[in-house]
Chain A
Amino acid sequence: MISLDGVSVSFGDVSVLENISLSVEAGEFVGLVGPNGAGKTTVLRTLNGVLGADSGRITVAGKQVGECSAKELSQAVATVPQNTHVGFSFTAEQIVEMGRTPHRSRLDWSDDIGPVEEAMAQTDTLSLRDRAVDSLSGGERQRVLLARALAQNPAVLLLDEPTASLDINHQIQVLELVTDVVGGERTAIAAIHDLDLAARFCDRLVLLADGGIRAEGSPEAVLSSLALDEAFGIETAISENPVTGTPAVSAIHDRPTQSRRVHVVGGGPGATVAIRTLWRAGYEVTLGVVPAGDVSASLAAQLGIPTVTAPAFTEPGPAVQQEAARLSEAADVVVITDGPGATYNADSTTAKQVYADLGGAGPRMARVDGGDQSVVTTPSELRETINTVLES
């Protein structure tokens, strides 16, 4: 349906896209992701003929972009712009009717209300038809612009940051609308900067950075690839959205690196708070023994933390205990939190120990280095205490 073959685009001397090749099948919903300035919008503007490519071949819906007229291309390709400021107060219906322009002759002024109403019904904008478009909210305007694109009856729908200025409710609404209208012979490409939304709604993601394609494939594959971290120049952690089951990306900013090791004993919510706190502070964290499937174990997996697990509701075997002991002995500090794993090896002797209760309403007890007692009940207290222990 869409193919780019060795396409390069530049603005003056600045190269924006370099030798991009991409092909999209009919009925696919492809998300373009990548950092600001990666060239996502440029790809869309090249596909709809607004920008001319310096080299390469672009074919959309059987038409070669650059060879056919704007009118011919716009009968097959519709664009939902990122932000349209409409001068003068056109009504929503007039805006949607402009979507019919590619299909009408210049002198045919008769009404073409059928496709307009159909597009407005699809996007739930019929109730806005007589409202001035500059009086609509961002979400309403985005739906009207989507209706305008649908009125073009396009084979290919291009969306430039369709959710950029919307609240979470409208983000979901708009993208669900897009997935509803895509399929069969209708294909969509959207530039989306929200990685979680892209992963949730798109069939396939294309990661762009510095004018080139860095990764391409299923949302899980693209988001968990190292290319993502390189493209954004930041460490990311992938988890699973508990509701939708789609990947969710968290960016970690400016994590300092410390050579000290901290071993965490105990699982459950308390341990996850401790792990998160210590990992953010830059320590090399290890964990165990915890029951397999514990929340702390899945967090540790996302952060790439070495973990020793034992099947739930069983005593850990000697091999497992030994492995946990090896980790705790290698650590500079052992943090013992209140949780299911705490009983397994609470009496590790070699490292300095911090008892922390970060999980909830249990007894607030903390013992540092086997002797001093102080209450460690918040992440910041934990950080401070560990600092003190390591300095002494």
Chain B
Amino acid sequence: MRLVLRTLWWSVALFVLLWVAVLVSAAIGSVRLDIPTVARATLNTIAVPASISLESTSAGIGSLRTTVPVPDITYRSVFSFEVANSDQAIVGTLRLPRIALAALVGFALATAGTVMQGFFRNPMADPSIIGVSSGAAVGAVATIVFPLTMPFGLQTAAFAGGLITAFAVYLIATENGRTPVATLLLAGVAIQAFLSAVISYMMLRAGDSLEQVVLWLMGNLRNSQWSEVEATVPLVVGLFLILLAYSRDMNVLLLGEEDAQALGIEVERTKKLLLAGSAVITAAAVAVAGVIGFVGLIVPHMMRLLVGPDHRILLPTSALAGAIFLVVADTIARSGPAVVPVGIITATVGAPFFLFLLRRREVHEL
């Protein structure tokens, strides 16, 4: 049980660290709060589903409207500690949704980054490598720049754009039912270059909305809502669990595809699943937070230094470390002298750290 115990210890430690980061982050801001108040307000915010009912909602594209049943969940608070109303509002409705979303996005990006680095056997692989981020950016920027032509909201457009791009890259790189990893990588690079040209053109035509576009492209957690957290949690957690179940397969795939096949892995099927899983989890993260770089690149490298290359321990610890990293980075982003997009913080911290790893020879030929 050595591995399971080690995984549990690391996960529990990182989970505790994540809560510390969340509480400290919630205390920091234009109004300084003390930690006990924040802790009480945070506990007050925790709610469990009390009842679920199906409600019909009208949905559709353009003039095609239909009613679909949507589950309507009412929540009930578990705790009710004494906290001043204003403090409760600051923590519960202003800061916590943003912190929760940062944690969720960091969790998702680090998960996808770990999977992609293993999948591509390449230290430079990150979640955006198969074009998910660029595709999502095209969808999001199009919604911002040409709001009238897009029938969906920004998140939906970004999510769909990311998935369509990933699927297109996959189709381009697939021949006779096989998807060579190198072809996939190159197809991803080419598609990314093409899409960034599209984005640049749209930015030229953006006019007054240019600032909004730039903020989104640099990663934006401003005005985060609980509804975004609620929509993203099941997707991210569900996909993480599926990918975690395949962590042994990822280890074996690192030996090369032929060895993996000889060790009983259905290589092409597993590759498809890993690719789809990390594409969806990345698209979900990018849709709610914009393009945030370096989380998916450096967090897995950092954790590999600490826990080793076995994905059964690397994947959960990277995911939690990604959550901590983005919570901290976003706290810095919103509490500095000037408010900057979180993507700027992750890049300024991430790039030097990656270079440090490069010098330490952690990141070399794989």
Contacts and interface: CB of A to CB of B under 8 A. Distances in A.
- Which of A81, A94, A101 is most buried by chain B, counting CB atoms within 10 A of its CB? A101
B251 interface: yes
Interface stretch (B212-220, B242-250, B326-334, B344-352): B242-250
B1 interface: yes
Interface residues of B, number: 31
B252 interface: yes
Interface in A85-133: 85-91, 94-95, 98-99, 101-102, 104, 106-107, 109-111
B266 interface: yes
Given A81-B258, A87-B366, A98-B252, A71 B309 contact: no
B72 interface: no
Interface in A41-96: 45, 48-50, 69-75, 77-79, 81, 84-91, 94-95
B255 A86 contact: yes
B4 A110 contact: yes
Nearest to A90: B309
A135 B264 CA distance: 26
A152 interface: yes
Q: Is the interface of B mostly helix, strand, loop or mixed?
A: helix
Interface in B213-267: 245-246, 248-249, 251-252, 254-256, 258-259, 261-267
Interface residues of A, number: 36
A102 B309 CA distance: 20
B266 A70 contact: yes
Given A45-B258, A86-B254, A86-B255, A98 B263 contact: yes
A102 B264 contact: yes
A234 B31 CA distance: 88
Contacts of A70: 261, 264-267
Contact of A50 (B254, B261, B310): B261
A101 B264 contact: yes
A87 B121 contact: yes
Contact of A89 (B118, B259, B261, B309): B309
22 contacts: A45-B258, A48-B261, A49-B262, A69-B264, A70-B264, A71-B265, A74-B262, A75-B264, A77-B262, A81-B256, A84-B259, A87-B254, A88-B366, A90-B310, A94-B251, A94-B308, A94-B310, A102-B263, A102-B264, A106-B248, A110-B4, A111-B1
Interface of A: 45, 48-50, 69-75, 77-79, 81, 84-91, 94-95, 98-99, 101-102, 104, 106-107, 109-111, 152
